[in-house]
A = this chain, B = another copy of it.
């Protein structure tokens, strides 16, 4: 049997960390990095450290095959102060520690909010407002990975920053980098709790599946993927993830409406 890949998960006690570690815990050897040990958090070896402090987190990267960087202030309305402390410096620290430790691949939890302002235009605007009458779902323009950055807040800016950092580490150091512009993942995993999720829902199992594909895919330089389930009314392009990663979502918000 081939040796399991060793994966360091930053923010391992968070929502997505829990989903991924539960779903893929048999296939990969997960290690955690978090600032506190949460009761009921995933049962994996976890380094407790302040990710803002490079020297505190450095050793956790040693011997890892890949890093899943989830740690962040994940609120889309996070303040500048929080974002600069929790998202900017830590993201540099993670890429730099990965490079220094010889980690091959980093999966960065970016966000759709890096281009969130695009939702206020065109078909996406109509869909967000629940006005489907004049739309053919097969013809909704898909926001793809090549559009210009249009962040809708400091949180989105911090994610665009992380993507730029990842691009540099890929181009300059050969680190393999996948950035996931993740849609709406909620604890309840129920797409009917707000109307926007009819387009933007990312189910737990599709989230875990996408991360599995990012870890398993053979060749990777630098790519940006939208992390969204196969929702009928989605306005983010999934064709790139489907072709490149073999991403094959099983959920569709429409089945719950």
Residues of A within 8 A of B (CB): 80, 84, 88-89, 92, 96, 114, 117, 145-146, 148-154, 156-157, 160-161, 163-165, 167-168, 171-172
Contact = CB atoms under 8 A, between A and B. Distances in A.
Contacts of A171: 117, 150, 152
A167 B146 contact: no
24 contacts: A80-B96, A84-B89, A84-B92, A117-B167, A146-B148, A148-B167, A149-B164, A149-B167, A150-B167, A151-B164, A151-B168, A152-B172, A153-B168, A153-B172, A154-B168, A156-B164, A156-B168, A157-B161, A157-B168, A160-B160, A160-B161, A160-B164, A161-B161, A161-B164
B164 A157 contact: yes
Contact of A167 (B80, B92, B151, B163): B151
What number of copies of this chain does the assembly contain?
2
A84 B87 CA distance: 13
Given A149-B167, A151-B167, 8 more contacts: A114-B164, A117-B172, A146-B148, A149-B163, A151-B168, A157-B161, A157-B164, A160-B164
A92 B80 contact: yes
A124 to B, nearest CB: 14
Nearest to A224: B148
Interface centre among A145, A157, A164, by most chain B C-beta atoms within 10 angstroms, is: A164
A90 to B, nearest CB: 12
Nearest to A168: B151
Which 7 residue pairs of A and B lie closest in terms of their CB atoms, listed nearest first?
Answer: A160-B164, A117-B171, A157-B164, A151-B168, A161-B161, A149-B164, A151-B164
A208 B156 CA distance: 33
A174 to B, nearest CB: 13
Interface centre among A88, A145, A161, A172, by most chain B C-beta atoms within 10 angstroms, is: A161
A121 to B, nearest CB: 10
Interface centre among A117, A145, A168, by most chain B C-beta atoms within 10 angstroms, is: A168
Contacts of A117: 167-168, 171-172
A118 to B, nearest CB: 10
Given A88-B84, A89-B84, A92-B84, A152 B168 contact: yes
Contacts of A89: 84
A33 B149 CA distance: 29
A118 B201 CA distance: 34
Nearest to A171: B117
Contacts of A156: 164, 168
